[in-house]
Amino acid sequence: MISPISTLTESIDAKPVIHILHENSVWIEPLIAHLELNGLPYREWFIDGAELDMSALPPKGVFYNRMSASSHTRDHRFAWEATRGVMAWLESHGRRVINNRRATALEVSKVEQVIALRDHGLTAPHTVAATGVNSFRQAAARWDRPFIVKPNRGGKGTGVTLVRNVRDVDAVANTFGTYTLDGTVVLQEYVKPAEGRVLRLEFIGGRHYYTVSIDTEGGFDLCPSDACQVGTAFCPADGRAKFEVLEHHETEEVERCLAFLSDSGMEVAAMEAAPDAKGQLHFYDVNINTNYNAEAEARLGNARQGMRAIAEFLGGELAKVPFHRHNFASS
Q: State yes or no: pLDDT of 218 exceeds 60.
A: no
What is the CATH topology of the domain spanning 107-122+192-315?
Answer: D-amino Acid Aminotransferase; Chain A, domain 1 (3.30.470)
pLDDT score of 238 more than 50: no
Q: How far is CA 160 from the centre of its chain?
A: 16
SS3 for 124-190 is CCCEEEEECHHHHHHHHHCCCCCEEEEECCCCCCCCCEEECCHHHHHHHHCCHHHHCCCCEEEEEEC
Query: Is 127-189 a CATH 3.30.1490.20 domain?
Result: yes
Best-predicted range by mean pLDDT (25-29, 121-125, 300-304): 121-125
| CATH code of the domain occupying 5-99 | 3.40.50.20
Q: Where in the chain is the domain with CATH 3.30.1490.20?
A: 127-189
Percentage with pLDDT > 90 across the chain: 60
- pLDDT at residue 235, rounded to an integer: 38
Which residues of the chain does CATH 3.30.470.20 include?
107-122+192-315
Reduced to 3 states, what is the DSSP secondary structure of residue 205?
A: coil
Asked if pLDDT for residue 9 goes beyond 70, the answer is: no
Q: What is the pLDDT of residues 247-262, one digit of tens each?
A: 788 889 999 999 999 9
Percent of the chain with pLDDT strictly greater than 70? 83
pLDDT at 323: 80
Run of H or E including 96: strand 96-98
Q: How confident is the model at residue 219 (pLDDT cuts 50, 70, 90)?
A: low
Each residue's pLDDT tens digit, 35-78: 999 999 999 998 886 778 888 999 999 999 988 777 666 776 67
pLDDT > 70? residue 308: yes
Q: Is the pLDDT of residue 239 over 80?
A: no
Question: Is 90 exceeded by the pLDDT of residue 92?
Answer: yes
User: Which pLDDT value is given to residue 13?
Assistant: 61
